[in-house]
């Protein structure tokens, strides 16, 4: 069976460079709050997947943010890290303290910015501020990228003047930001061509928000018009609708033949971990990384791809660590199949678990209700002289989960446990439930009493919902 797919277009001969801002822009999403450890993990995977630069954080926010950025800088030595700063000396100095080699200074100069955030400031004053801040950053040994916030709504001459002031002061890269995500590809191309003509010899970066669903299309148009750098984030995570998706951009550049993938199989792992840590998993139809993007259901499609995968696949799924499928995952049609007779199964079937006190009943998972997408067990905990050190090591799920503790005494009292959440241990008395967000390390052990423990996980197969440490052989 052959595996011919559509031939990639040439897309020009220039290699596009990618700066990923998951660890900065992603922190501005509705749920994006990456810990120091999670940030290091994400940055490590970004480097392995071939990113050219990492944009991480705004160190002036507080001490913890400064330390988070510093930890990423230390972890990815050899890959440059850029940190964000307003056009304020103290912000720039905070970046210098992290050890980052680049600072991304941003300032809006259009009427909206001057009315809403910079009342009373004239253009001349703003240009002076840009020059002073870039100069100060250079004196601190930082390399500078300068961004005009809300570039796409800034009058062209004022925009170019701001960039020229920045480059004259020492900025090595300018960034055009479509902050509201309002541009269309044809207009994007015209804007970048003009900017390329007015600022020859200076690297141009573009940062497109996805409010209209056009971020990737605008990024490709910008590349074709002379942009050197594209700002991305994993799963497109960012303010509001997010920005250009990291995996989608890389795979499109690979398809064009202008930038080969360093390790396409890592893109799914990155997507999974960022989705878990931000509690914002990509939907199943997300291009490149979604569960269903190489899934064929229509009879005509199924027959065609069984003979020739390229019939309905633009890319070999193996390129990005996926595999094609022609099965139809669905709940059983007969409601009687939704009723489960629980089975007693040892916890040793699960990673990070050993045999524990009492019997463990599996109430539901995909084995018993195919397509349920949920896992729930109940354990009857007997009263014991010694409950031991516990049978569950701390572990992490890519989805939310729940512990429930019900004692055998009146009002469900009578069961005492210790619950670990992250690096803290909490004493818990029944009745109680413990919500565990995706990405949080957790575990429990029985301390005293008797009753029932329930565990509910929003995944149909327990072991596949676990996020093992980077480098684990599991």
Catalytic residues: 301
Q: What CA–CA distance (Å, rounded) separates 32 from 25?
A: 9
Q: 352-360: list long-range contacts, CB under 8 Å, 24+ apart.
A: 352/392, 352/393, 352/394, 352/395, 352/443, 352/466, 353/391, 353/392, 353/393, 354/391, 354/392, 355/391, 356/390, 356/391, 356/392, 357/381, 357/382, 357/384, 357/387, 357/391, 357/446, 358/382
Rg (Cα) of the chain, in Å, rounded? 26
The number of residues making up the chain comes to: 474
C-alpha of 179 from chain center: 19
Strands annotated E in 338-449: 343-344, 360-364, 375-381, 401-407, 415-421, 424-429, 432-436, 442-449
Dig out the tokens for 360 from the structure.
Answer: 């463990």
DSSP one-letter code for 395: B
Closest CA to 460 of 403, 402, 399: 399
C-alpha to C-alpha distance for 207 and 200, rounded to whole angstroms: 19
Maximum alpha-carbon separation in the chain: 80
Residue 10 CA: distances (Å) to CA of 18, 150, 226, 258, 262: 19, 32, 15, 7, 19
Parallel, antiparallel or unpaired: strands 375-381 and 102-108: unpaired
CB 72 within 8 A of CB 43: yes
Distance CA 446, CA 451 (A): 10
Please state the φ and ψ torsions of residue 453, each to the nearest 5 degrees: -115, 135
């Amino acid at each position: 069976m052959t595996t011919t797919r559509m031939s990639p277009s040439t897309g020009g001969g220039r290699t596009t460079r990618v700066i990923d801002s998951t660890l900065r822009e992603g922190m501005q999403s509705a749920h994006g709050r990456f810990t120091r450890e999670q940030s290091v993990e994400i940055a490590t995977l970004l480097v392995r997947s071939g990113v050219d630069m990492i944009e991480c954080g705004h160190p002036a926010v507080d001490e913890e943010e400064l330390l988070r950025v510093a930890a990423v800088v230390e972890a990815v030595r050899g890959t440059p890290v850029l940190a964000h700063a307003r056009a304020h000396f103290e912000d720039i100095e905070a970046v210098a303290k992290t050890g980052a080699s680049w600072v991304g200074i941003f300032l809006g100069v259009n009427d909206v910015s001057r009315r809403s955030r910079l009342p009373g400031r004239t253009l001349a004053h703003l240009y002076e501020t840009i020059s002073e801040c870039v100069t100060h950053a250079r004196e601190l040994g930082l390399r500078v990228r300068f961004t005009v916030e809300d570039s796409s709504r800034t009058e062209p001459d004022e925009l170019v003047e701001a960039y020229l002031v920045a480059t004259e002061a020492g900025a090595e890269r300018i960034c055009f930001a479509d902050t509201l995500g309002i541009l269309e590809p044809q207009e994007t191309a015209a804007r970048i061509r003009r900017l390329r003509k007015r600022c020859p010899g200076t690297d141009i970066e573009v940062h497109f928000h996805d409010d209209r669903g056009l971020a990737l299309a605008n990024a490709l148009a910008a590349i074709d018009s002379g942009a050197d750098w594209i700002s991305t984030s994993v799963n497109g995570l960012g303010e509001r609708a997010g920005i250009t998706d990291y995996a989608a951009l890389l795979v499109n550049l690979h398809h064009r033949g202008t930038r080969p993938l360093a390790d396409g199989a890592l893109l799914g792992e990155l997507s999974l971990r960022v989705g878990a840590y931000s509690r914002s998993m990509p939907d199943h139809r997300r291009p490149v990384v979604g569960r269903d993007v190489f899934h064929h259901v229509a009879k005509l499609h199924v027959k065609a791809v069984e003979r020739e995968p390229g019939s309905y696949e633009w890319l070999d799924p193996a390129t990005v660590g996926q595999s094609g499928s022609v099965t139809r995952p669905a709940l059983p049609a007969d409601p009687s199949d939704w009723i489960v007779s629980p089975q007693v199964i040892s916890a040793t079937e699960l990673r990070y678990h050993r045999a524990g006190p009492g019997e463990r009943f599996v109430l539901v998972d995909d084995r018993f209700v195919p397509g349920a997408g949920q896992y729930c067990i109940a354990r009857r905990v007997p009263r014991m002289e010694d409950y031991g050190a516990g049978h569950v090591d701390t572990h992490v799920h890519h989805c939310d989960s729940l512990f429930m503790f019900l004692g055998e005494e009146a009002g469900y009292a009578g069961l005492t446990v210790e619950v670990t959440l992250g690096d803290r241990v909490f004493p818990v008395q029944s009745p109680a439930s413990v919500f565990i967000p995706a990405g949080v390390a957790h575990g429990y052990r029985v301390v005293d009493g008797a009753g029932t423990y329930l565990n509910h996980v929003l995944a149909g197969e327990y072991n596949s919902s676990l996020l093992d440490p980077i480098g684990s052989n599991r």
